[in-house]
A and B are shown apart, each in its own frame.
Chain A
Amino acid sequence: MDLLERYLQAVGQYLPAETKDDTIAELRSNLMEQIDAREEDLGRSLTAGELGDVLRTHGKPEAVALRYLPQRSLIGPAVFPFYTLTLRRVLPIVVFWSAVASAILFVVSRHESLAKALVGFALGLWQPLLISAAIITAIFATIEWARQRGKLPENWNEWDPAKLPAVKTQASPDCSPRSMAKRVIDLCAHCLWMAYVLWVPWHPFWIMGPGVFYMDSLNVALGPVWHTFYALLITLLVVQLVMRLLAFVPAAQRLLMPMKVVTDLLGLVASGILAASSTYFVAAGAAANVPRIATVNQSVGLAFRIVFVIVLIGFVKDLWQYVKRTKPLRQMAF
């Protein structure tokens, strides 16, 4: 019987003090009854192994004790769906506003590099996310606590069918396939635009107009950052060309949205490279006005940082829409 007492002691470790003795006494009584019945069947005392089998069948001490404890859940099944829905709606908004805040800080602090700003954003994101999740969890745990004690108003879970959104009569513009004529015009326009971008480096007049002669007179040339930007721009245009061609293939429609995210990302990287640079124009001769070039570079740099922030916000918005479309939130009316 030493084994039985050891078993009961192990169960007792996990029971609340106020009910422990009573529960253990009842368990002992029931188990001894079971052991007696088994011994009566066999006509002899149980061996240590057989007693172990009885206890093993009865259950692991921790599991047995846990069944005697009241159900403990921070947020129960009635409230949990609302909790997860709120998390899924609020956390992306937190990410969005954190991105906006980081972008504004990046623009304002002229000395911070883009890479440093991005790393800072990524590393600092967990804090607002964790705080928001903790606040939401605390609110819903309070709601659950109040619900279990009947302290919520009777109509807390009521909803009004009249407030349900109207039936969508047509798919959103992003989802509806465009007409063949529109797709053809789009493809032609894009090809023309690509041809222009490929042609213009050798004919700068067609992008800068008379400004070319002004730049020549100032002895100013474009900085090396534009070479990197140009290579990225060509890559971006090629991806967009592929997208426009895929628009004619019905089976490839599902690839368009992820490809749009890729092009947005390329656009973000391209504008990021420009925003991160500080040298857009360089002196092309001894007669160049270097202090003036430095002032122009600073002004252009600020402009590109603002552009980068706008592109970043657009990218986060598109990415959020893509994620939302890929994993649609459960339709709920409340």
Chain B
Amino acid sequence: MFDSLRLELRRGCLILAVLAQLRDEHYGYTLRKALADEGLAIEESTLYPLLRRLETQGLLTSEWREEEKRNKRFYRLSKDGEAVLELLLAEWNGINESLHKILKHEE
């Protein structure tokens, strides 16, 4: 029960976190590591398909490039992605503020 609610709660937040993190260019592995370092661990099997989906939706761009003698696919926020991220962040801040108020009432 708790696990499914937690998953539901995290789902939307993960997209926001991925978009925000990709304001700087990353490839899959380093993105996952960067998110984990910030305290938001995400499974590979969730992250990599999510990147593909966000790219299909036009929110990310990607390119294959060689780095350290290995071909890697680098992702970055697209122009559309930046606009969507702004809107999502405004929404997120609004929700966050409201939740803080609600939770304060309960204290």
A-B contact pairs, 21 of them (CB 8 A): A23-B52, A26-B48, A29-B27, A29-B29, A29-B71, A29-B72, A29-B73, A30-B27, A30-B28, A30-B48, A33-B30, A33-B72, A34-B44, A37-B29, A58-B44, A59-B43, A59-B44, A64-B45, A67-B45, A67-B48, A68-B52
Q: Which of A50-68 contact B (CB under 8 A)?
A: 57-59, 63-64, 67-68
- Contact code string A6-42 (vs B, CB < 8 Å = 1, else 0): 0000000000000000010111011011100100000
Given A58-B44, A59-B44, A29 contacting B28 (CB threshold 8 A): yes
Shortest Cβ gap from B21 to chain A (Å): 16
| Size bracket of the A interface | 10 to 19
- Report the nearest A residue to B33, measured CB to CB: A37
**Residue from A25, A30, A34, A64 whose CB has the most chain B CB atoms within 10 Å:** A30
Distance of A64 Cα from B52 Cα, bound (Å): 13
B39 CB contacts on chain A under 8 angstroms: none
Q: Are A30 and B29 in contact (CB under 8 A)?
A: yes
Q: Which of B1-51 contact A (CB under 8 A)?
A: 27-30, 43-46, 48-49
Whether, in the assembled complex, B101 has its beta carbon less than 8 Å from a beta carbon of chain A, the answer is no
B72 CB contacts on chain A under 8 angstroms: 29, 33
- Report the nearest A residue to B43, measured CB to CB: A59
A26 CB contacts on chain B under 8 angstroms: 28, 48, 73
Other-chain residue from B45, B52, B70 in contact with A58 (beta carbon distance below 8 A)? B45
Given A59-B44, A63-B45, A67-B46, A33 contacting B29 (CB threshold 8 A): yes
Closest 6 CB pairs of A and B: A33-B29, A67-B49, A59-B45, A30-B28, A30-B29, A26-B73
Distance of A34 Cα from B32 Cα, bound (Å): 10
B45 CB contacts on chain A under 8 angstroms: 58-59, 63-64, 67
Distance of A32 Cα from B44 Cα, bound (Å): 13
A63 CB contacts on chain B under 8 angstroms: 45
Shortest Cβ gap from B51 to chain A (Å): 9
Shortest Cβ gap from B73 to chain A (Å): 5
Q: Are B44 and A30 in contact (CB under 8 A)?
A: yes
A27 CB contacts on chain B under 8 angstroms: 48
